[in-house]
Structure 1
Amino acid sequence: MPQTDPARLDAVLADVDAHIDESVARLCDLIRIPSISTDPAYAADCRKTAEWLAADLSSLGFDASVRDTPGHPMVVGHDRSGDGPHVLFYGHYDVQPVDPVALWNSPPFEPTLVPQPNGDTWIVARGASDDKGQLMTFVEACRAWKSVTGSLPIRVSILFEGEEESGSDSLPGFLDQAAAELKADVMLVCDTDMWDDTTPAITTMLRGMVSEEITIRCASRDLHSGMYGNAARNPLQLLSDIVASLRTPDGGVAVEGFYDGVTELPAEIAERWKRLPFDEAKFLKDVGLDMPAGEAGRTVLEQVWARPSCEINGMWGGYTGDGFKTVIPAEASAKISFRLVAGQDPDRIAEAFRRHVEARLPADCSVTFKRHGRSAATVMPIDSEFLQRSLKALSEEWDCEAAVAGTGGSIPIATVFKDRLDMDSIFVGFAKFDNRIHSPNEKYDLSSFHKGIRSWVRILAALAETK
Structure 2
Amino acid sequence: MSKLDKVLERIDQNLDQSLDRLFELLRIKSISTDPEYKGDCRQAAEWMARELTAIGIPSEVRDTTGHPMVVGHRVADGKPGPHVLFYGHYDVQPVDPIELWNADPFDPQIVTREDGSKMIVARGANDDKGQLMTFVEAVRAWIEEAGDVPINISVLLEGEEESGSPSLQPFLDANKEELSKDLALVCDTSMWDKDTPAISVMLRGLVGEEITLKGPSKDLHSGMYGGAARNPLHVLSDMIAGLRDEDGRITLPGFYDGVLELPEDVKEMWQNLGFSTEEFLGGIGLKDLGGEKDRSGLEQLWARPTCEVNGMWGGYTGAGFKTVIPAEAHAKVSFRLVGDQDPEKIREAFHAYLKSKTPADFELELHPHGGDRALRMDFDAPALAKGRAALSAEWDKPAALVGCGGSIPIVGSFKRTLNMDSLLIGFGLDEDQIHSPNEKYELKSFHKGIRSWARVLEELAK
User: What interval of TM-score do these two structures reach, taking the shorter chain for normalisation?
Assistant: over 0.9
Quote the offset at 1:316 in angstroms.
2.0
The residue that corresponds to 1:8 in the other structure is: 3
Match of residue 231, structure 1, among 221, 224, 228 = 228
Q: Report the equivalent of 1:105.
A: 102
8 Å CA contact 2:212, 2:366 repeated in 1: yes
Is 2:443 aligned against 1:449? no
Q: What does residue range 167-246 of structure 1 map to in structure 2 within 5 Å?
A: 167-246=164-243
Do residues 117 (structure 1) and 129 (structure 2) align? no
Q: Structure 1 residue 19 and structure 2 residue 14: aligned?
A: yes
Query: Residue type of the partner of 1:104?
Result: W
1:410 aligns with 2:412: no
TM-score under structure 2 normalisation? 0.95
8 Å CA contact retained: 1:215, 1:334: yes
Partner secondary structure for residue 41 of structure 1: helix
**Paired residue for 1:339?**
336
- Deviation of 1:266 (Å): 1.9
Shift of 1:378: 1.0
Show CA shifts across 1:49-70 (max 9, x none): 2121111111112121112222
Sort the Cα spacing of 1:282 and 1:353 in 2 relative to 1 into closer, same or farther, 3 A.
same
CA contact (8 A) 1:393 1:455 kept: yes
Deviation string, structure 1 residues 392-411 (Cα, Å, up to 9, x no partner): 11111001111111111111
Q: Which amino acid aligns with 1:36?
A: I
Per the TM alignment, residue 143 of structure 1 is displaced from its structure 2 partner at its CA by: 1.0
User: Which 10-residue stretch deviates more, 298-307 or 212-221?
Assistant: 212-221
Equivalent-residue separation in structure 1 for 2:399 and 2:19 (angstroms): 25
Query: 1:3: which partner in 2?
Result: none
Q: 1:66-81 residue pairs with structure 2 within 5 A? A: 66-81=61-76
Shift of residue 195 of structure 1? 0.8
Separation in structure 1 between the aligned mates of residue 212 and residue 63 of structure 2, nearest angstrom: 39
Q: Percent identity?
A: 58
In structure 1, how many angstroms separate the alpha carbons of the residues matched to 2:237 and 2:461? 56
1:343 counterpart letter in structure 2: D
Q: Take 1:370 and 1:119, find their aligned partners in 2: how far apart are those partners?
A: 54
Q: What do the CA deviations read for 1:374-426 (whole angstroms, capped 9, x no partner)?
A: 22111111111111111111111001111111111111221111111111111
State the SS of the aligned residue for 1:123.
Answer: strand
Q: 1:268-310 deviations in whole A, cap 9, x for unaligned?
A: 3223223323223332333322222211211111111111111
Mapped to 2, the partners of 1:237 and 1:105 lie a distance apart of 50
What is the CA distance between 1:225 and its match in structure 2?
A: 2.5
Aligned to 1:293: 290
2:52 is the counterpart of 1:51 = no
Do the aligned partners of 1:91 and 1:161 also contact (CA within 8 Å) in 2?
yes
Match of 2:361 in 1: 364
1:357 is paired with a residue whose SS is helix
TM-score by length of 1: 0.94
**CA 1:113–1:176 in structure 2 vs 1: closer, same or farther (change >3 Å)?**
same
Partner Cα distance (1:22, 1:319) in 2? 62
- 1:36 aligned to 2:31? yes
What letter is aligned with 1:176? D
Say yes or no: does 1:460 pair with 2:460. no
2:381 maps to which of 380, 384, 387: 384
Match of 2:311 in 1: 314
The answer on whether the counterparts of 1:81 and 1:151 sit within 8 Å (CA) in structure 2 is no
Contact 1:375 1:412 in 2 (8 A): no
Residues 87 and 156 in structure 1, CA contact (< 8 A), matched pair in contact too = yes
CA shift, 1:252, in A, is 0.5
Matched AA of 1:66: V
Q: Which residue of 1 aligns with 2:348?
A: 351
Deviates more, 1:394-403 or 1:76-85: 76-85
Residue 28 of structure 1 and its aligned partner are, at CA, apart by 1.7
The letter for the 2-side match of 1:274 is Q
Name the counterpart of 1:250: 247
Residues 99, 371 of structure 1: alpha-carbon distance in 2 compared, 3 angstrom cutoff: farther
Query: How do 1:130-141 and structure 2 match up within 5 A?
Result: 130-141=127-138
1:81 CA drift (Å): 4.5
Question: In structure 2, what is the equivalent of residue 144 of structure 1?
Answer: 141
Q: How far is 1:42 from its partner?
A: 2.5
Judged with a 3 Å threshold, the aligned counterparts in structure 2 of structure 1 residues 160 and 278 are, in CA distance, closer, same or farther, namely: same
Say how many residue pairs are matched. Answer: 460
Equivalent-residue separation in structure 2 for 1:370 and 1:74 (angstroms): 34
Secondary structure of residue in 1 paired with 2:83: strand
Measure, in 1, the Cα distance between the counterparts of 2:407 and 2:25.
27
Query: Do 1:208 and 1:412's aligned partners in 2 also have CA atoms closer than 8 Å?
Result: no
Distance in 2 of aligned mates of 1:243 and 1:112? 50
Partner secondary structure for residue 329 of structure 2: strand
User: 1 CA distance for matches of 2:222 and 2:395?
Assistant: 65
* Aligned-partner residue type, residue 461 of structure 1: E
SS in 2 for 1:304: helix
- Residues 1:97 and 1:213: Cα distance change in structure 2 (over 3 Å): farther
Alignment CA distance shift 1:15-1:333 (3 Å): same
Counterpart pick for 2:156 among 154, 159, 164: 159
The reply to whether residue 374 of structure 1 matches residue 368 of structure 2 is no
CA contact (8 A) 2:84 2:152 kept: yes
For residue 284 of structure 1, what is the amino acid of its counterpart?
L
Give the one of 271, 280, 285 matched to 2:277.
280
Unaligned runs of 5+ in 1: 1-5
Cα distance in 2 for residues equivalent to 1:227 and 1:48: 68
Distance 1:318 1:43, change over 3 A: farther
Q: Match of 2:428?
A: 431
| Distance across 2 between alignment mates of 1:267 and 1:327 | 54
Shift of 1:146: 1.4
CA distance in 2, matches of 1:117, 1:218: 63
1:353–1:163 Cα change, 3 Å: farther
Tell me, which stretches of 5 or more residues in structure 2 are unaligned?
none
Residues 126 and 439 of structure 2 are in contact (CA less than 8 Å); yes or no, is this contact kept in structure 1?
Answer: yes
Q: Is contact 1:235-1:331 (8 Å) kept?
A: yes
- Cα distance in 2 between the residues matched to 1:91 and 1:368: 40
User: How far apart in 2 are the matches of 1:354 and 1:70?
Assistant: 37
What is the CA distance between 1:314 and its match in structure 2? 1.6
How far apart in 1 are the matches of 2:66 and 2:365? 31
Partners in 1 of 2:351 and 2:433 — Cα distance? 37
